[in-house]
Structure 1
Amino acid sequence: MRAKCSTTPSRLGGITKPSKFRARGVYQPTLNTTRTANTIRKVDRKSTRTPADHVPLRICLLSYRSNPHCGGQGVYLKNLSRALKDLGHAVEVISGPPDPQIDRDIPVFHLPALDLYNPEDPFRVPTLEELMEPINLMEWIGVSTMGFPEPFTFGLRAYLFLRSRLHTYDIVHDNQSLSYGVWAINKKAATIATI
């Protein structure tokens, strides 16, 4: 069955979205650099093969908290990284504690944090040495004043870690931190966010 699809140009400069369609399968918009209406390609859900014009991307996945057992971020990170790797992309994961359970063929960089929401030692008091680090101090003050500073402090740590490496990635994908650090990354590298 052929899809009946009408497209309307969006404000995103050449990316179109289907306004109506009837068919099975997934539809992916194609980017048209001439900024006119695009065609929509049908992608078979069962196939893991990529189109002939596929160019592998270097993708960095960010997650401020990657608990593999609750909350969803760790599960999302594991499944997304595996799917992207299976499509032929080079994937690296940058995560705060707790550590994600990612397949061994995908590199994981663990960013240090105070981990003040650790269920084994919740709301622990950091040492003076730990508080000498400005980002740790911000994290501790945030928790002590009933805030939730982890996304903010993870974003700063991620930016400091990535700023000299951003040229090695085609895209950075942030998972829910939406912080000033990720905003700074966005100014230097293509960035998307999952909320």
Structure 2
Amino acid sequence: MILPIVAYGDPVLRKMAADIDQEYPKLNELIDNMWETMYGASGVGLAAPQIGLAIRLFVIDASPFADDEELTEEDRKQLADFKQVFINPVIEEETGDEWPFNEGCLSIPDVREDVSRNEYIKITYLDENFKEHTQEYSGIAARVIQHEYDHIEGILFTDKLSALKKRLLKGKLSNISKGKIKVDYRMRFPAAKKGR
């Protein structure tokens, strides 16, 4: 089932998300719904806070990036089959040079900005079967994970922009929270006027 994506301005996007266990109600159904919601919005990642749940869970399918001719062969290979569920993840290390890349977010439609992030990460997480993994990622894969991980920490990519950029985006972000924007997927707007 496709769920509405929570828009910028909703308090759930600012909460530190909580760990979950195997007893979390209807977890498999939730994960299926998150995949369907993400694909329906043409996203490559979706975190639980973006559908209104302050839990440490996100899904990523970065395979669309594998077609990008500008990426290295190694990056394209890593991204080709990179589809993963992350439960209760912990980034153990972020290393390497920071590099800028143009990011967007399903909760902040029509806003894209360059964000600098570390090149390498080491992350420990549980998969959908609650099997523990510790893996290292680099490049685009690391970046997509860092973006989704920020969501469960209550951080948005716009928080990483300069004060000037934030000021320039203020009106646009306000309009997004009020629902004064056209999107081709279901959204829930925190400051939208009721009954219009």
Higher helix fraction (1 or 2): 2
Larger Rg: 1
- By the TM > 0.5 criterion, same fold? no
Higher strand fraction (1 or 2): 2
TM-score of the pair, normalised by structure 2: 0.25
Structure with more relative contact order (C-alpha pairs < 8 Å, separation 6 or more): 2
